Structure 1
Amino acid sequence: MTAPLNYRHLYYFWVVAKEGGIARAAERLDMAVQTVSTQVRLLEQSLGHALFRPAGRGLALTEAGTAAMAFADQIFALGEQLRTAVADAGTGQGGRLAVGISDGLPKLVVHHLLKPALGDSRVRLLCHEDEFDRLLGDLALHRLDAVLSDRPAPPNPNLRVYSHALGEAPLVWFAPAKLAAKCKNPFPQCLAEMPVLLPTAHAAVRSRLDRWFEQHGMRPRICGEFEDSALLAAFGRAGLGAFPASRWSRKDLLADKGMQVLGETPELVEHFYLISAERRIQHPLVLRLVDQDSGKQK
């Protein structure tokens, strides 16, 4: 029978790998160099492979060490989550929800998607925005509980993540009322008469927007392209041009009395997904997000 893994030895290995050498690790751990070296050697004996090789004045991971480090990162990240979860439970807090927000996801939609998990004022929500691929990596390492995106996760045999559809919403076109008043043609032809603001290719809907313009024989005068949808809307509100946004953003955008709806494009739909590291979700707050009937909400 294989002996159980000694997690103290694994922790010393992890610190040595992070610091790039035994001496620096020993200083961080406030331990003797010989003690740290012995603990790492015992782990190597237990696993049956060398985990480090000399590299200049320090150490570098072997292939076996790289594989071990990937698991060590996950194990100690989960350890931090365990500490937080126990503290939350012990103080009667409603729970912690760490969510990655894809940089292509419209920010005005994020609150709509997260609303089912925010009914309890004790919930502690942590939102982290980043590039889609980097968020998926953090999710796979259990640094995040879920990722919200405008596209499903791509097939990747090395990344065990699962996509859950949260719903969809058609695009609505908004414009400053002063710009709209100068147009002679009805929607959508009026878009050819005014400057237009669009999302960059970071947004999954951009390619569909380009095809839509082509199908209508229009070559819009694009005066701005934005990765951040909130920034796009801010420039639109400032009078720079017309822009598309999810129907779910309608109430927020029309709170500005200087804005008006040009028209709706039901053939242009944004899709929204929650991506989890589990096929069968266990986190109760993530379950609330997946169970919402988003597709029927207006």
Structure 2
Amino acid sequence: MINYKQLHHFWTVARAGGIVRAAERSGLAPQTLSGQIATLEADLGVSLFKRQGRGLALTDTGRVALDYAEEIFRLGDELEEAIRSRASGRAVPFRVGIADVVPKTIAWLLLAPSMKLPEPMRIVCREGKFDALLGELAIHKLDVVLADGPMPPNMDVRGYSHKLSESTIGFFATPSLAATLQNGFPHSLNGAPLLLPGGEAAVRGPLLRWLDAAGLRPHIVGEFDDSALMRAFAEAGAGIFPSALAVGEQLCRQNAMVHLGDAAGVVETYYAISVERRLTHPAVRAISAAANEGQKPG
């Protein structure tokens, strides 16, 4: 059985980038750290480090071991936090990053199952750019990131994408704007003022291709990285609002919008991105389980 104390020494040295630096941070003697790592390597029958100039570098096996060690000690911290919270009656923190292209209504629908757990849960939401949130996730400041796309393959961050749900994209307008549109949908989009999600939104490309394939030429009056800002412009009557059906239909129920029609075949897909291949946080498991049971935003 692996010696977790030795594994922790290996983890400390790997993260510090060398034995001397790790010794300064941990307060242990360099000889102690070196001896513990040598014992671990002997027990495992592998080399975890190799000499590189005057320092150390991880071997391929060492990088694999570091990935597992990161997850082991992160889970240990999470376990300790959960037990302390339960013992003291405090709510378990659930730290969520929400990419700003994800509509607020969708975020709520996706997160709602986490609010129904028997143990008290305190949700902490952070909104921002997708890549910045992934950086927070990588250093365990977030438990999960909600986004409109999977983990980019070129990101130097270890993470796993868990598909939650998808929604067809519809077009919505205020009653006053809808009354001015000529012809039936989709021809009514020709020359009409249209709001578009910004370049970071995964649905932007498919939406533009759908318009082009249909031979439609709307007048693009605004582009928005923030979905809430685009919605605010739409509610003010600035332009037609392309949106997931769940969001637009909610506005229709409030008599703020009219549903013009749908972009057939254009869907927005939502993901939970975690540093775990196997979900362990109870709130993230609840979200994933609800999605697997077919509870879709739209």
Q: What residue identity is the alignment partner of 2:241?
A: F
- Say whether residues 1:35 and 2:32 are aligned partners: yes
User: TM-score if structure 1 supplies the norm length?
Assistant: 0.74
**Structure 2: distance between partners of 1:93 and 1:266:** 46
Map of 1:53 onto structure 2: 50
3-state secondary structure, aligned to 2:243: strand
In structure 2, the CA distance between the partners of 1:191 and 1:211, relative to structure 1 (3 Å rule), is same
1:203-218 alignment to 2 at 5 Å?
A: 203-218=201-216
The alpha-carbon deviation at position 126 of structure 1 amounts to: 4.0
**Structure 2: distance between partners of 1:247 and 1:81:** 36
In structure 2, the CA distance between the partners of 1:41 and 1:269, relative to structure 1 (3 Å rule), is closer
Q: What residue identity is the alignment partner of 2:186?
A: P
3-state secondary structure, aligned to 1:8: helix
Map of 2:290 onto structure 1: 291
The answer to whether the 8 A contact 2:173-2:260 is kept is no
In structure 2, the CA distance between the partners of 1:32 and 1:206, relative to structure 1 (3 Å rule), is same
**Structure 2: distance between partners of 1:53 and 1:28:** 21
1:182-261 alignment to 2 at 5 Å?
A: 182-200=180-198, 202-237=200-235, 240-250=238-248, 253=251, 259-261=256-258
The answer to whether the 8 A contact 1:136-1:147 is kept is no
The answer to whether the 8 A contact 1:169-1:295 is kept is no
The answer to whether the 8 A contact 2:235-2:257 is kept is no
Identify unmatched segments of 5+ residues in structure 1.
none
In structure 2, the CA distance between the partners of 1:146 and 1:244, relative to structure 1 (3 Å rule), is same
- Say whether residues 1:6 and 2:7 are aligned partners: no
The alpha-carbon deviation at position 10 of structure 1 amounts to: 1.6
Deviates more, 1:79-88 or 1:216-225: 216-225
Count of residues in Structure 1 that have an aligned counterpart in Structure 2: 288
User: TM-score if structure 2 supplies the norm length?
Assistant: 0.74
- Root mean square deviation of aligned Cα: 4.1
Deviations 1:124-167 (A, max 9, x none): 224456648x859969x998765544457799xxx99574554x
Map of 1:125 onto structure 2: 123
Map of 2:76 onto structure 1: 79
**Structure 2: distance between partners of 1:90 and 1:115:** 25
3-state secondary structure, aligned to 1:219: coil
The answer to whether the 8 A contact 1:102-1:149 is kept is yes
In structure 2, the CA distance between the partners of 1:178 and 1:58, relative to structure 1 (3 Å rule), is farther
Deviates more, 1:85-94 or 1:16-25: 85-94
- Say whether residues 1:105 and 2:137 are aligned partners: no
**Structure 2: distance between partners of 1:107 and 1:241:** 20
Identify unmatched segments of 5+ residues in structure 2.
none
Identity of aligned residues (%): 40
